[in-house]
């Protein structure tokens, strides 16, 4: 419990289970009461290292080791400044050198080695690349907003699917009950008819009933009311700008054509020819489980022969009769 204690008032978690330790960028923890007492005027110095701090910079300690919290804070602050992406560099080697430089800066600030020189270096970089930093921050914010919208949209679609499935299950149970009740009513109201005739009347009544919408139709109708991410719509619109001005009536419809390839070799013999020639004697016989999985000895033999003869320059016998 000694680690989970305030270094100023010596209050521990053992004596006060509701104790909340706060931590700042310097990595030294204080309890919430000491933070409120020392930083009444929103600013002050750390009792451990004397670093000037602000009250707004304190947050709840998340890890037992304060060094981990300090590394999280330092890394978060540095990554806001050194926020270049791989696309900002001409080669992968330059990007890796940049990442290594960032890690050296973070390690210096965490370990306390050359802190003043490192902070001066970070401040100079921030001043020289202020426009680039703002641009990358805006891009990162847009990416976060985009993926957040994607997650929210997927969550809404999953909720809609569950709702539609529940509705269809209730409707199916209700329809089943109504059919049973309708059949009983038809038998009651048509006692003068035979059971076969009553069943035929009941069948025609069910055929004339309006069909309910399928799951896909309901899902498409519900999805149309779900607004997707604006950036995704903009992306789709920008991707379609190349064909938006063209006349779609002039576009020819796609016609599927069977692809044929000349293997430059003899044609594949049939199953009977393979059996008579003895090729199948060298292929493992397929078991019932193999057949269930789609394997057969004939397919294996045909594939082996095709691989062996594909690419060979083959001439029929009629074209080489004059050759001795």
Show me where the domains of the chain are located: 1-65, 158-239, 264-286+293-304
Q: Give domain 1-65's CATH architecture.
A: 2-Layer Sandwich (3.30)
Q: Give the whole-angstrom CA distance, residue 243 versus residue 239.
A: 9
> What six digits make up the tokens of 29?
């923890």
- Tell me the angle at which helices 130-189 and 195-208 cross, rounded to the nearest 10 degrees: 150
- Are 54 and 63 contacting, i.e. CB atoms less than 8 angstroms apart? no
Structure token digits, residue 143 = 């990416």
Name the β-bridge partners of 5. 12
pTM: 0.39
Say whether 22 sits in a helix, a strand or coil.
strand
User: How confident is the chain (324 residues) per 10-residue block, as mean pLDDT?
Assistant: 68 78 77 80 74 75 71 84 85 89 87 84 88 86 87 87 84 82 78 77 71 68 56 44 44 75 70 81 80 81 79 59 48
Give the Cβ contact number of residue 47 at 10 Å. 12
- Residues in the chain, how many? 324
pLDDT for res 204: 77
């Amino acid at each position: 419990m000694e680690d989970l204690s305030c270094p100023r008032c010596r209050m521990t978690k053992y004596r006060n289970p509701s104790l909340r330790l706060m931590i700042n960028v310097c990595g030294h923890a204080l309890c919430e009461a000491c933070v409120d007492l020392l930083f009444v005027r929103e600013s002050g110095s750390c009792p451990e290292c004397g670093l000037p701090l602000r009250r707004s910079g304190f947050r709840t300690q998340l890890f037992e080791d304060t060094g981990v919290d300090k590394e999280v804070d330092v890394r978060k602050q540095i990554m806001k400044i050194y926020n270049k992406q791989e696309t900002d560099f001409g080669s992968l080697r330059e990007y890796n050198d940049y990442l290594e430089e960032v890690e050296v800066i973070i390690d210096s600030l965490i370990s306390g080695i050359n802190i003043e020189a490192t902070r001066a270096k970070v401040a100079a970089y921030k001043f020289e690349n202020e426009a680039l930093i703002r641009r990358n921050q805006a891009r990162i914010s847009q990416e976060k907003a985009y993926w957040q919208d994607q997650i929210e949209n997927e969550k809404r679609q999953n909720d809609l699917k569950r709702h539609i499935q529940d509705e269809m299950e209730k409707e199916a149970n209700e329809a089943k009950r109504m059919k049973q009740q309708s059949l009983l009513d038809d038998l009651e109201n048509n006692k003068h008819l035979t059971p076969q005739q009553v069943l035929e009347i009941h069948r025609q009544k069910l055929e004339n009933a309006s069909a309910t919408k399928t799951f896909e139709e309901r899902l498409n109708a519900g999805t149309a009311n779900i607004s997707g991410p604006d950036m995704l719509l903009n992306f789709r619109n920008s991707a379609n700008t190349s064909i938006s001005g063209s006349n779609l009536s002039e576009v020819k419809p796609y016609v599927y054509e069977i692809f044929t390839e000349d293997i430059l070799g003899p044609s594949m013999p049939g199953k009977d020819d393979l059996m008579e020639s003895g090729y199948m004697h060298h292929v493992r016989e397929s078991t019932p489980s193999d057949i269930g999985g789609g394997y057969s000895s004939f397919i294996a033999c045909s594939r082996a022969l095709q691989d062996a003869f594909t690419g060979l320059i083959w001439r029929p016998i009629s074209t080489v009769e004059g050759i001795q």
